Structure formats: structure tokens, C-alpha cells
Structure 1
Amino acid sequence: MTNLVQGTGTGTTRTTGIVGNGDSGGPVVSPHNDGGVLARGVISGMALGSSVKPCQGCAPVGRTCSRVVYFADLPNVLGRLGVQLSTTNF
């Protein structure tokens, strides 16, 4: 896939992984000022090397995690497909 966006952890996530093996295809979201989240994209991969950090939560032996995620930008994908994301507040 081309045109991937790079995202990194901030604050306390600078020292822990925000993405790991098996997370591909999962959602990328960011906080919104109304307390909700914004859909940003779909996880495609992660950086290795100095970006590898301890995993959070489920961390089986051999799982690698990173503080840098590469993802397909949702607005770009939707625009290319000519569709819109429909959301509902609960």
C-alpha cells in the first residue's frame, strides 16, 4: 500500500507500544474535544528498530510492539472511493 500516514504515541505512550503484531486492519482513532473519538484510518504496519517499545495489555511471548504506526488515511480512502462515513452519537 502506498500513501501511508505515520502516527506516534504522545505523553505516556512515548515509552510504550501503541501497535503490535496482529493489529493490522484495526482502527486508528484520535481523541476529539467533545469526549468522543475521530476515525483516522486503518492500521497497516509499524516501525521497528528504536521505535520498538514494551507492549501494553495482551503481551504474549514473542509479540513485538512499536510506538510508531503506519496507517491508511481514512478520509483519503473514502474520497478515492467516493463514499462518506456515516456516524451516530449515542
Structure 2
Amino acid sequence: MVALATQDSALVQGYLLALLTVGILWFLANIAVSVTALAVIARSRIRHREAWEDLDFIEANLPKNGRPPETVDEYRAHHLKARR
């Protein structure tokens, strides 16, 4: 009976160790993907500064909730979005 309990305990510890290992690997994979995505975005923003400036302008000035453009910047943002 004691030997059986010891085997079960060792089996549970093995499962916990495997689960911990998978969790750590998952965490490291998420970190790697996040760093890669940030590097790609940063590189894109540096190399294609003009395109990103247009996108930022559109996002900041495009009329919200489907209302028509009212200012010059809103008209320009609407026109830029239509071109893209």
C-alpha cells in the first residue's frame, strides 16, 4: 500500500513538472512572438514613415460613427482613406 502511494505521488509530481514545463515554454513562445511583432512594427514605422503618417492622420481625423466630414482635415482624411 505504501509503495502504491509513493508511485502515485511520483506520477503526480511528474505530471506537475510536465505541466510547469509546458507553461514555461508557452510563456517564452509568447514573449518571442511579441518581441518579433514589436520589432516588425518599429522597423516598418521607421522605413515607411510617410505611409504611417498618413495612416495616423486618417485615424485621428476621420469622422466617427458614420457622420459626414465637417472640417478640412476630416475631408482630407476621408479622401485619403478612399484612395487606400
- Greater share of strand: 1
| Higher Cα radius of gyration | 2
**What TM-score, normalized by structure 2, do the two folds share?**
0.26
- Greater share of helix: 2
Question: Which structure carries more relative contact order (alpha carbon 8 Å, separation 6+)?
Answer: 1
